């Protein structure tokens, strides 16, 4: 498992940031994709922006941007009728179980 | 620079048959030999196999099974655009002078492992392509007012075009209403908005200018554009633009010194209905936001200029074969050999093939 995956399994969303040029490396890796220096790992700022969403069966999923750089597709625990384009969302939980899982809620916590 | 032409091709029928990958590859190779005059196994310098199959050493296996001992042989894997990537590699071997004649054979099975890019952790638990396609679709709807019916028109047109493609997975046609009433896969995509993974193989033979003269009606590769922006779905400039397609198309048109209005026939990568609309916009055939209206006009006038073999939606999508099959179709069109699919007086054609949410695209321009 990668560092990202093993931390995810513990419920931590960590990101790799270059120790030299401070680039956030996403998707995560041990080396910077700008200057190829070693990265350091830190927790992500869990508040982000919902870019787009759709729904499969009863599961709402959306593309979320964190720290203005990291884009991921996560599950949204928000009532569909309450979702607004570009709205603020917060990472509610994450896990790694045969693959990554990210769940987001509205920033005001209502869902 | 040396010129390179396509001088032969072969196809298998696309189906859900459970055939071993080497049988599919051999079958498309035999189809090429059956249809191409003046060719012997000893003439072939290069064999490239385009596939996502997990079987190792397939180009050497195909060489042995077809009695060919090439100088150069290897597999090319680049997900859904493996086919055109193989053709660009074959082109490069010939242009460099390393080879005079290259055989490219693409094949995949319906259980092909290339449908999901597990590496892309940014997809979370939503690994299947229907999720990024739904997000692209929703975004295009929001920005340009594209409707579910606009998408259904793409599917109706391409299934209708596939009627006359003897190698298509199915010749079944659907009305717009039938597509709109088909099962929803997500809130933004019906099942009939999606291409179908299947088993199939296609092949093309490329030759240098001197060697090509020995063949009937060579079709010249005039323009090549390729761009990879990323592997993950995180780098598009926005969700309604396929950046790699836009860049690859510009490169190909610049290289060929051809404009969009010179193009008579197009095979483009309609993995999902929204991809056809976006590709037409991003390659510059229509302005941004006008793709759906253009496709509707094609549908209403029975014009099969875009995806005459039925595209991926109409023909099926055996990943490694798709880009090769697209090139076969455009070659047949430019040779006037497309039978009931023939576009009158076609002399310039375009192929657009891409991978993984358009993170990588190839555009080829061919001329008779």
CATH number for B250: 3.40.47.10
Q: Which residues fall within 8 angstroms of residue B231, CB to CB, at 6 or more apart? A: B117, B119, B120, B356, B359, B360
Closest among B357, B353, B352 to B234, alpha carbons compared: B357
Four-residue CA torsion sign, B196, B198, B201, B206: positive
Kind of pairing between the strands at A70-76 and A100-106: parallel
**Could you tell me if A59 and A32 lie in one domain?**
no
Q: Do A73 and B135 touch (CB under 8 A)?
A: yes
- Judge whether A111 lies within some domain: no
Q: How far apart are CA B128 and CA A57, in angstroms?
A: 15
Domain carrying residue B285: 120-197+223-367
Q: Do A56 and B142 touch (CB under 8 A)?
A: no
- Is some CB atom of chain B closer than 8 A to the CB atom of A102? yes
**Could you tell me if B185 and B214 lie in one domain?**
no
- Is some CB atom of chain A closer than 8 A to the CB atom of B130? yes
Provide the domain count of chain B. Answer: 2
Q: Do B135 and A28 touch (CB under 8 A)?
A: no
User: What 3-state DSSP class applies to A60?
Assistant: strand
Tally DSSP H helices, then E strands, for chain A: 1, 8
Domain carrying residue A68: 47-106
> pLDDT tens, A72-96?
999 999 998 899 888 999 999 999 9
Four-residue CA torsion sign, A9, A12, A18, A21: positive
**Could you tell me if B310 and B272 lie in one domain?**
yes
Q: How far apart are CA A68 and CA B150, in angstroms?
A: 33
Residue B188 C-alpha, separation from nearest chain A C-alpha, in angstroms: 7
| N-terminal to C-terminal alpha carbon distance within chain B | 18
Q: How far apart are CA B10 and CA B203, in angstroms?
A: 5
**Could you tell me if A100 and A55 lie in one domain?**
yes
pTM of the prediction?
Answer: 0.96
The one-digit pLDDT tens for each residue of chain B (368 residues) are 779 999 999 999 999 999 999 999 999 999 999 999 989 999 999 999 999 999 999 999 999 999 999 999 999 999 999 999 999 999 999 999 999 999 999 999 999 998 899 999 999 999 999 999 999 999 999 999 999 999 999 999 999 999 999 999 999 999 999 999 999 999 999 999 999 999 999 999 999 999 999 999 999 999 999 999 999 998 877 899 999 999 999 999 999 999 999 999 999 999 999 999 999 999 999 999 999 999 999 999 999 999 999 999 999 999 999 999 999 999 999 999 999 999 999 999 999 999 999 999 999 999 99
**Could you tell me if B294 and B317 lie in one domain?**
yes
**Could you tell me if A83 and A99 lie in one domain?**
yes
At A111 the pLDDT is: 43
Could you tell me how many CB contacts below 8 A there are between chain A and chain B? 78
Q: What are phi and psi of A81, to 5 degrees?
A: -70, -15
**Could you tell me if A51 and A98 lie in one domain?**
yes
**Could you tell me if B71 and B125 lie in one domain?**
no
- Is some CB atom of chain B closer than 8 A to the CB atom of A55? yes
């Amino acid at each position: 498992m990668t560092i990202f995956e093993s931390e995810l399994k513990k419920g931590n969303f960590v990101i790799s940031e270059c120790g030299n040029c401070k680039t956030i490396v996403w998707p995560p890796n041990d080396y910077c994709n700008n200057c190829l220096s070693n990265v350091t790992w830190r927790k992500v700022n869990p508040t982000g922006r919902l870019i787009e969403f759709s729904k499969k069966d009863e599961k709402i999923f959306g593309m979320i941007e964190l720290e203005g750089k990291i884009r991921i597709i996560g599950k949204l625990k928000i009532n569909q009728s309450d979702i607004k384009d570009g709205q603020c969302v917060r990472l509610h939980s994450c896990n790694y179980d045969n693959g990554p899982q990210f769940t987001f809620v509205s920033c005001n916590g209502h869902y | 620079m040396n010129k390179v032409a396509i001088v032969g091709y072969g196809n298998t029928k696309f189906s859900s048959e459970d055939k071993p990958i080497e049988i599919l590859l051999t079958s498309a190779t035999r189809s090429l030999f059956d249809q191409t005059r003046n060719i012997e196994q000893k003439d072939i310098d290069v064999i490239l196999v385009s596939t996502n199959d997990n079987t190792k050493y397939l180009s050497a296996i195909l060489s042995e099974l077809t009695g060919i001992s090439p100088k150069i042989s290897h597999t090319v894997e680049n997900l859904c655009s493996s086919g055109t990537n193989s053709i660009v590699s074959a082109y490069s071997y010939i242009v460099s002078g390393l080879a005079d004649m290259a055989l490219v054979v693409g094949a995949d099975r319906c259980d092909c492992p290339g449908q999901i890019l597990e590496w892309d952790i940014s997809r979370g638990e939503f690994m299947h392509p229907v999720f990024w396609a739904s997000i692209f679709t929703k975004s295009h709807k929001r920005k340009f007012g594209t409707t579910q019916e606009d998408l259904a028109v793409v599917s109706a047109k391409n299934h209708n075009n596939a009627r006359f493609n003897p190698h298509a997975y199915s010749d079944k046609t659907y009305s717009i209403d039938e597509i709109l009433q088909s099962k929803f896969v997500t809130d933004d995509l019906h099942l009939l908005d999606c291409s179908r993974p299947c088993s199939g193989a296609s092949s093309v033979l490329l030759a240098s200018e001197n060697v090509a003269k020995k063949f009937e009606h060579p079709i010249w590769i005039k323009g090549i554009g390729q761009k990879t922006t990323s592997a993950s779905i995180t780098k598009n400039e926005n969700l309604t633009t396929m950046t790699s397609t836009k860049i690859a198309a510009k490169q190909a048109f610049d290289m060929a010194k051809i404009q969009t209005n010179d193009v008579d026939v197009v095979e483009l990568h309609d993995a999902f209905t929204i991809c056809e609309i976006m590709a037409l916009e991003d390659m510059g055939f229509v302005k941004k936001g006008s793709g759906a209206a253009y496709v509707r006009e094609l549908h209403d006038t029975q014009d099969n200029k875009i995806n005459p073999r039925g595209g991926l939606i109409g023909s099926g999508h055996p990943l490694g074969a798709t880009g090769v099959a697209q090139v076969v179709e455009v070659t047949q069109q430019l040779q006037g050999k497309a039978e009931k699919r023939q576009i009158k007086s076609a002399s310039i054609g375009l192929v657009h093939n891409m991978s993984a949410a358009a993170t990588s695209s190839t555009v080829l321009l061919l001329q008779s």
